[in-house]
Structures are given as C-alpha cells and as structure tokens.
Amino acid sequence: MVKKISIGSPGPWQFLHNKNRTFIGVLVACVLLVMIMIGCQSRTNDLMALEITSPQNRAEVTEDIAMVSGIVSPPSAVVTVNGREVDVAEDGTFSRSVELEYGENTINVAALTADGEELTDKTLTVVRNLNLDIISPEDKEEVSYSPIILRGTVSDNEAEVRVNNRAVSVADDGSFFTAIDLNYVKNVITVEASVAGQKPVTRTLSVNRVLVLRLDTPAYQIEVTEGTAEVRGVVYPPSAMVTVNGQEIDTAADGSFYAVVELAYGENTIVVNATDPVTRTLTVNRELILEVDSPKDGTQFTSDKVAVSGTVSDPQVTVTVNDAPIEIDPDGTFTADVALAYGDNPITVRAVTEGDQPVTKTVSLEVSRVLTLNVTSPPADSELTEPQAVLLGIVSNPQAVLMVNDQEVTVNDEGVFAADVELEAGENVISLVATVGEEVSLSKTVTLYYVPSG
C-alpha cells in the first residue's frame, strides 16, 4: 500500500530551514553595516591633528607679510592657507607667507583628504598696525638751544609723516628727522603718521626751552676763610643779562661770567640771576680758623717759659694768649712767650673779629713745668776702688737748692753740679734732694759700691 504524502503545507523541518535562511541574511547585513561604519571611522581618524604654531591669534605686527607655520598629522594630508595649497614636509610641518593689509586680517588653514574632502580647519586673526617711534627729543626734556632736531622712525616707509602739521621726508628704512624752532618755556610737538585708508597714528611730546645758568664756583654751602669769594659760571644764551647780588656783570661771548663778592663772617647768601628769568642761589659761610702749632696739649717742660705759635686765617683779627694781645704777621702767623710755673699751666689762645657781630675762635690746652735731677757720673750701681767719689749731674733749674747726703752743693748757671762723697766699703746709698721754693722738691738716690783694692 502506497502512503500518500501531501506537499501542500510545510513540514517541521522545512520551517526550521526557512528560519535559518532569514537569520543568516540578517547576520550578513549587520556585518556589512559594521564594515561600512569602520571604514568611515577609519577615514575620519586618518587626520590626527592640525596645529598652527605661528602667528598667535590676535597677534599685532607692523610688517606687510605674515609667515603662517604649523604641523599636520598625518603628513599625507593636503593643507591650504586661505585656499592656497602649501607643501607639507615629511614630518608634517608646513609654512606659507600671507600678505597683510592694515587692520584685521583673517587667515584660514584647512586640512583635506587627497580627493578634496575637508577634514578640519582653523581660523585666526592677525592685526597689522602702523608703528611710529620718536627717538629724540625725550618727552618733557629741557634744552637751552633752538632749533632742535626731532628724529624718529615709522614702520612703513610709504607712510606720510607730519610734524606739527608739516610734512617731512621718510627714508627707505623708515627713519625721518626735521628741525623745530622752540619758544622759551613749554613747546608741544605733535608727530602724525598715516597710510591710505587707515586711522593716523599720533605721538605728542613736550619740550621745555630754558635759560641755562650754571655756577662753577664757589661750591654750594662752601666754607672759606678769605674775605672775598669769586663767582664764576656760564649762561646760555650769552646775550642774557646776569646779576650777582643785584649788580649787573659782563658776560663773555661764550656765556661765561666772573664776579668778586665781599664776605662777612658767618653765612653769606649769594644770588645769581639771569633774565627770562633764571635764578641760582648759593650760600657761602666764611669761617675764622685758629690753629696752635706748638706747644702740644699735655707736653711737659723744664724751662720757665714756652713759645706759643700758630696761625689765624685773618691777620686783621685780634689774637690774645692768656688774655694778652699779641702781634700777627701779614701771613697770619704768630708767636708769643708764656711764663710757666711748676705744675699745670693752662694756655688759652683766642681770636676775635671786629664788627657788630664778632666771631670768636678759642684754642685751649694745658702744659706742665717739671723739675728734673739727673746724675751723669758715675753710673748707678758702679763698683769703685777709691774711698772718694765725685758725683756729676745736672738739675733743670739752676736756682734750685741741691743737697747731697744732707750737704748743700753748688749749682752753676747751667744747672750743672759736682759733689764729693766719702764711700765706705760695700754698698753706699747717696741721697740727692733738689728744692725750688717751698713747694717744689725732687728726691733721688744713687747706689755705689766701694770695693777696696787688694
């Protein structure tokens, strides 16, 4: 018996087969879609970076050319600067010069694929300015002459430069100069530079023209001893009128002048004036100087007088030594003898000027007079072989009373003495006493040894 099989409806295996075919189709479509996306992503990632290294955005320059430099990755990318293709080195660096107009200039740098598809771009702005510098004179400078020379530079040698609204020539390197007449005191100078279609650049400065009055001597607040001071200086212009303490003086062709001013003791104000007007004031202090050269303070003397000598800066003053007036030589030197007593002797030397306001200078010192007694022979601690000895010596005051072993000894006019002394075997201490009056006494001992011969 033959069994019939119906093919009008699918069996279970056929249904499963149909589902597998559908799944495979969907799977294939997904794989294709992923591959397309990876390809697109790969194309996008071919360009890793685009960097403009110079100029900086908003950079301000004065040149008419800007060099645009940068680096692109990968080096195979096509780079354009403002639409013009530039060469890219193997390391990805590139550069292109771009002409600049005054004001703002937009620069676009783009990276493209080989078929012209733009991957990325960067835009920056460069500002070109007209630069104007004034080299000299400086703002607020003071000068004594006219005219002056104004010097400067402009960044574009084709710019028009005007000084106080007067056109001046510009050299190929952009430098310019011009002479300007000055009035006395303040002068305002305006310098303007402009190029076609641009706002002018302006620099303004002021220059003061002054009358120059220079004092060379005397120095300010100097101290002098003379009765006059020489005033020397220079004025510019030489045609200016100069007065010293109100008295007009002559000015030489080079502007130099000279005057002699009498000085009183103390502070003297000297006013030098030049027309327009310029004034210089200085102070000269006249000082009285008194110096004592000898004796020196604290010196000891044996004589009954001492010579006091020194110098005074003005020989017309009165000089006293211990209140006694003394004579002064024309050169200001003086000498006076002062009697000395035994002990301390103060000495006061005083110089006094005449006039309504006298000036006094005083030098005080102290010296002393001492009595001296010296044995010259035989030397102390001598060993003698004779029982008699003759002491020889000198005392500083011939009027002194000299006692040797309580025996008075004669002293000659020069203070020299000789005394006979008897010696005993062995040590002999000999006493000497010199006396002047009742208050001054000086004692001394000398030791001699008597060694009998044999």
Quick one: pLDDT at residue 38? Answer: 45
pTM of the entire predicted model: 0.49
C-alpha 43/C-alpha 115 separation (Å) is 12
- Burial of 378 from C-beta contacts in 10 A (0-12 / 13-18 / 19+): middle
C-alpha 208/C-alpha 188 separation (Å) is 9
Quick one: pLDDT at residue 40? Answer: 44
**For 214-286, which CATH superfamily applies?**
Immunoglobulins (2.60.40.10)
Distances from the Cα of 277 to the Cα of 185, 209, 242, 250, 252, angstroms: 11, 12, 10, 17, 19
Angle at 190 between CA 186 and CA 192, to 5 degrees: 175
Tokens 């005449």: give the residue: 354
Which residue type occupies 140? Answer: K
C-alpha 313/C-alpha 331 separation (Å) is 8
Class of domain 49-128: mainly beta
Check if CATH label 3.40.190.150 holds for domain 290-369: no
DSSP helix, strand, coil percent of the chain (3-state; round to 5): 5, 55, 35
Residues of the chain with CATH 2.60.40.10: 49-128, 132-209, 214-286, 290-369, 373-450
Q: Provide the 8-state DSSP code for 39.
A: H
CATH fold of 132-209: Immunoglobulin-like (2.60.40)
Backbone angles phi, psi at 29, to 5 degrees: -60, -40
C-alpha 216/C-alpha 109 separation (Å) is 69
- Burial of 311 from C-beta contacts in 10 A (0-12 / 13-18 / 19+): middle
Asked whether 389 and 448 are in contact (CB, 8 A), the reply is yes
C-alpha 131/C-alpha 62 separation (Å) is 6
C-alpha 88/C-alpha 48 separation (Å) is 15
Token representation of residue 7: 């093919």
Containing H/E element for 325?
A: strand 324-326
Asked whether 263 and 359 are in contact (CB, 8 A), the reply is no
405 Cβ contact list (under 8 Å, min separation 6): 421, 430, 431
Q: Provide the 8-state DSSP code for 356.
A: S
C-alpha 169/C-alpha 288 separation (Å) is 66
C-alpha 121/C-alpha 139 separation (Å) is 47
Which residue type occupies 409? Answer: V
Q: Which residues of the chain have pLDDT under 50?
A: 1-9, 12-16, 34, 36-45
- pLDDT per position as a tens digit, 106-142: 999 999 988 888 888 999 999 999 999 999 999 999 8
Asked whether 198 and 132 are in contact (CB, 8 A), the reply is no
Quick one: pLDDT at residue 355? Answer: 80
Distances from the Cα of 410 to the Cα of 272, 393, 414, 428, angstroms: 77, 11, 11, 22
Quick one: pLDDT at residue 220? Answer: 75
Start-end of H helices in 333-442 = none
C-alpha 238/C-alpha 254 separation (Å) is 6
CATH fold of 373-450: Immunoglobulin-like (2.60.40)
Token representation of residue 307: 């010579």
- pLDDT per position as a tens digit, 176-224: 999 999 887 789 999 999 998 778 899 999 998 887 888 998 887 788 8
